[in-house]
Structure 1
């Protein structure tokens, strides 16, 4: 997608939110009907995953340089009842709670107009993942187990997975693959373009990095923004499947110079809050060597403000997003974050099992969805060697994340260059994909 200025981007997002009068694109022909996806729905069904906005909470971003004393004065000015800051990341972001019955939109408008040290203000909301739970019994992953899966030193690139966490004992690997927050030995050089015959890796500083600490908890690898601790255990199942697809396909591509950073931003029911998502995103984007963030979730209709602002600012990160599972043209029924109009976002739908059409549940859009990949009957092998099958664009996205990782490692390219290379190396098809690029990614 073409790089847009922040002002133009906001205007486009507001336009998408307000709708448009053009007729939708002709519906694609579905040539095979898959097994039940994460949430199968017909093209005429109402959108199910709409954000539920809080009636008495807002998220604010302070301007740089606002002191602790000034922040307290600003909270008092707007009669903030309680406030919450992000764990491990950015003290500029706070969630404010007001008394019940407040006119939350009026207060939001007042804060925006007053311009007293606030850079951005946004609604708090909750959203529900288009997925079913696994019924896994919650338990704690011991620090020793997490350390045994954590790399001694990071190398190459880091793929952050914002999701429901990872169940380490359900993965078919026992070798270290998790991000080490303490020290790096080699990282991708991100300051200059790597030329032919030059290594894309350079030695980095040996100085230790300070892991996150909060309320007596110290980061080992990743962070749980739902329960506010170091254990990113997946009590839902979705994040583990996404990680499984990435690990399996990185092995298929013979890539081993990478690590995964698990960031838990959704609970055991697949429900997430916008504030936890914002905090988790900032945490991941600030980590050294994070070049790719996989975001296999979303909601419809309302773009909001803070997340697209943050994503557009991190121009070095390739964001891989799932397009959604409602068989909707997201040019006209926008699904976020996949429909944000920035060139560092890749939106992924799914082709069918016969590879001769779009699968029935996948969203599509010639402007808002970039590629189709495998999102039906995706094999998931667990630690016992048993194989189950996953359905949904959530599991198409990590296939593309692996391709993006390969191109980043091989060529150290920008997100837009990575997108173009994925297109160049995609499989041309004769059927209409109803996406921006008429190729599939295998």
Structure 2
């Protein structure tokens, strides 16, 4: 166990006991592509470029008044020798994290990297889990962009979202948030979306939020999120597990998203009650100083389990290049790698386990808790009775999705997230030959259906 991203008009509400936003939906373009590719092993791990004039900021005291925050911004500008040219907040949460565009031309300004790594909050030698003394008012993180799979898959855009929202939030359901490219609800025949119309007495969308287009239409125009969701719901439906999915769109049509979008998405999760599992099938390499996202995750209630993918470059993320968020030292976080298994005949479990290898997935026994299949997923994406597309997704994104479905099956509303973590780990088989790649050689076998 681990220790210890077309802006439209927006009306934001900031009242005691109310948190929300109401915006008209946008229409998205249709695009269909059935190819599914996986990152290839490479020594050129893609380290994200730090945006030199943008900084993600979170005030330590979230109860500060607007005037107090303005005064503190001015103090910080003067102390660190820069000017804030533009300030963005997460959609409809003016008290949440901020994205500053700053003037970097001041003679005494030492740069964003120096600001983040040396002046405040973070120790650059840490694994993303240590803070040092610094600015007492705020935490600073880099702003950068990352990309996940760009394999567009879209339905017919004929299904109204209201037809896919569960009428009321049943306390006996397992609630799963998915930070991804959204979900195309054309591919789902029954209501499955978590209802957020009345969350915190506000009107923050109808189910989830689109932080790319800044509206309430969480329809997937990329395909990645729909495939992740399909794996989860297919498995849960097959075992009769009642569930609700909360899609949070933090990646766009081309698969790109920003650290700030992800922070805002997680901030959104923190505002919604009773989210039991969060699936995060994405990641980035190298940048250790990301305290804001990690802190929000740690502040979310103990009833939430985070499930993250390990990445697909076949590298040791403990010793070579760290991978996040799977590498965060958060107790209630599962880092999921992927394994390969080629079978031409049915085998007993002991013989089957001996055939398992990890060649394409990232690995590291300190940060990767378990492995699930990277492939062997066949998804029938049917958008109407006469149209269906079969896709075969490959990658640790889908290993993570499969483990999320296992978590949904094992979820017990009376148990904390650490108990769910333990129950998942207890369900694993041990592969001695993988102990140097994943914790205790833990693997989850996929049930054939």
TM-score (norm 2): 0.77
Q: Which residue, out of 239, 244, 248, partners 1:253?
A: 239
Is 2:307–2:335's contact at 8 Å kept on the other side of the alignment? yes
User: Cα distance 1:352–1:313, how it changes in 2: closer, same or farther (>3 A)?
Assistant: same
Q: Which residue, out of 90, 95, 98, partners 1:94?
A: 98
1:61 maps to which residue?
A: 58
What SS is found at the alignment partner of 2:398? coil
What SS is found at the alignment partner of 2:257? strand
2:249 maps to which residue?
A: 264
Aligned residue runs from structure 1 range 415-430, under 5 A? 415-429=417-431
Return the offset for 1:105.
3.5
1:215 maps to which residue?
A: none
2:364 maps to which residue?
A: 365
Structure 2 CA distance, aligned partners of 1:297 and 1:68? 34
1:302 maps to which residue?
A: 287
User: Cα distance 1:326–1:110, how it changes in 2: closer, same or farther (>3 A)?
Assistant: closer
Return the offset for 1:309.
1.6
What SS is found at the alignment partner of 1:290? coil
Q: Deviations over 1:180-236 (max 9, x none)?
A: 01359xxxxxxxxxxxxxxxxxxxxxxx73222xxxxxx011100011000112111
Return the offset for 1:90.
6.0
Count of matched residue positions in the alignment of Structure 1 and Structure 2: 371
Structure 2 CA distance, aligned partners of 1:380 and 1:90? 40
Structure 2 CA distance, aligned partners of 1:146 and 1:135? 18
What SS is found at the alignment partner of 2:160? helix
User: Cα distance 1:371–1:114, how it changes in 2: closer, same or farther (>3 A)?
Assistant: closer
Return the offset for 1:76.
3.4
Is 2:341–2:357's contact at 8 Å kept on the other side of the alignment? no
RMSD of aligned residue pairs (Cα, Å): 2.5
1:133 maps to which residue?
A: 151
What SS is found at the alignment partner of 1:54? strand
Q: Which residue, out of 388, 394, 412, partners 1:391?
A: 394
1:39 maps to which residue?
A: 39
Aligned residue runs from structure 1 range 191-206, under 5 A? none
Return the offset for 1:297.
0.2
1:232 maps to which residue?
A: 218
Of the two structures, which has the highest relative contact order with CA contacts closer than 8 Å and spacing of 6 or more?
Answer: 1
Return the offset for 1:323.
0.6
User: Cα distance 1:90–1:391, how it changes in 2: closer, same or farther (>3 A)?
Assistant: farther
User: Cα distance 1:157–1:115, how it changes in 2: closer, same or farther (>3 A)?
Assistant: same
What SS is found at the alignment partner of 2:73? helix
Structure 1 CA distance, aligned partners of 2:134 and 2:420? 41
Structure 1 CA distance, aligned partners of 2:263 and 2:393? 27
Return the offset for 1:322.
0.4
Is 2:369–2:442's contact at 8 Å kept on the other side of the alignment? no
Structure 2 CA distance, aligned partners of 1:430 and 1:105? 42
Which deviates more, 99-108 or 275-284? 99-108
Q: Which residue, out of 142, 153, 161, partners 2:168?
A: 153
Structure 2 CA distance, aligned partners of 1:135 and 1:252? 24
Is 1:54–1:125's contact at 8 Å kept on the other side of the alignment? yes
Show structure 1 runs of 5+ residues with no match.
5-34, 185-207, 213-218
Is 2:2–2:366's contact at 8 Å kept on the other side of the alignment? no
User: Cα distance 1:366–1:114, how it changes in 2: closer, same or farther (>3 A)?
Assistant: closer
Show structure 2 runs of 5+ residues with no match.
5-34, 78-82, 122-132, 343-351
Structure 2 CA distance, aligned partners of 1:96 and 1:243? 33
1:319 maps to which residue?
A: 306
1:24 maps to which residue?
A: none
Return the offset for 1:245.
0.4
1:382 maps to which residue?
A: 381
Return the offset for 1:125.
1.2
What SS is found at the alignment partner of 1:244? helix
Q: Which residue, out of 308, 318, 328, partners 1:340?
A: 328
Is 1:3–1:343's contact at 8 Å kept on the other side of the alignment? yes
1:178 maps to which residue?
A: 193
TM-score (norm 1): 0.78
Q: Deviations over 1:37-56 (max 9, x none)?
A: 421225xx2212x1221101
